[in-house]
Amino acid sequence: MKNSWNVERYSQFLDLRTRPAKDLLSAIPDSFKPHKVYDLGCGPGNSTILLKKRWPDAEIIGLDSSDEMLANAKANYPDILFVNGDIADFTVSEKIDCIFANASLQWLDHHEILIPNLLQQLKVGGMFGFQMPNNFHSPSHQVTIHILQSNTKWQSLLIKLRYGVLREPLYNLSWYYDLLTKCSVKSLQIWETTYFQEMSDYPEIFDWVKATGLRPVLSEMDAKNQDQFKKIYIQSIATKYPKQINNKILLPFRRIFMVGNK
């Protein structure tokens, strides 16, 4: 099966996935008036439209490497320019005013090279906003590793994951602080937030994760193996997150944010 993004799966929780983008954007001062803004890893355009509404007179460009996501974005927001491209290779011929990356940089390695390269694309005084999930150490993700390790026919799929066995958060804010200050970033804001997301049941937790973190693994399985994995995952995750008195489940989802100007 092709390792591609499924727009329908991703959009199942679109409000929850968009909320961090709103929080990230709100940290950019009202006084900042960009002329050209790139939304890197724009997906179906749910973050890109926020940028367009915030800066209606600016040129807003959404960039993504998924044809499926771009097709959906173009259909929903025909007045915005969306282009196919890889964040790792992102360069511009003329420096731009703002780079926005909501839940996309975690798919790339070597941030010590990537982030300085992205900042090089900004004009002096230009701003950036980066947000990344930081919950790969959580049961929602670590359960996947245990399942793959415990099943010989799935063990080879461990290499598809961008994280390993973790007991602490993958991303360290102090490390990013040092990296950004070495890049002469000014007015740096850096923080972490845990969103406690209400889930109706344990299958819904699986649905949340399968659209992003589980995507590389599930895309390598046929329908039968996907069903088997889903059953084991739901049984395992039910032991990790207790039900509330109303039978809902609170799923903590941790994210880091970085905003500053060059």
Instruction: Parse the chain into domains and list their residue ranges.
Output: 7-261
How does pLDDT run across 170-205, given as a tens digit for each residue? 999 999 999 999 999 999 999 999 999 999 999 999
How does pLDDT run across 107-147, given as a tens digit for each residue? 999 999 999 999 999 999 999 999 999 999 999 999 999 99
Under a CB-based contact definition with an 8 Å cutoff, are residues 225 and 232 in contact?
no
Distance from C-alpha of 36 to C-alpha of 237, rounded to nearest angstrom? 43
How does pLDDT run across 157-175, given as a tens digit for each residue? 999 998 999 999 999 999 9
How does pLDDT run across 82-95, given as a tens digit for each residue? 999 999 999 999 99
Distance from C-alpha of 48 to C-alpha of 126, rounded to nearest angstrom? 18
Distance from C-alpha of 247 to C-alpha of 40, rounded to nearest angstrom? 38
> What percentage of residues in the chain have a pLDDT greater than 70?
95
Distance from C-alpha of 229 to C-alpha of 231, rounded to nearest angstrom? 5
pLDDT at site 17? 86
pLDDT at site 13? 73
pLDDT at site 88? 96
Sign for the CA dihedral angle at 41, 45, 49, 50 comes to negative
Architecture of the CATH domain 7-261: 3-Layer(aba) Sandwich (3.40)
- Check residue 152 and report its DSSP letter: T
* Exposure b/e, 109-141, CB count within 10 A at least 16 = b: eebeeebeebbebbbeebbbbbbbbbbbbbbbb
pLDDT at site 86? 96
pTM of the model: 0.93
- Token readout for 212 is 């992003």
Type of residue at 222: D
Confidence of residue 2 (pLDDT cuts 50, 70, 90): very low
**Closest to 128 (Cα-Cα) out of 178, 188, 82, 71:** 188
Distance of CA 211 to the CA centre of its chain: 11
- Rounded-to-5 percentages of helix, strand, coil across the chain: 40, 25, 35
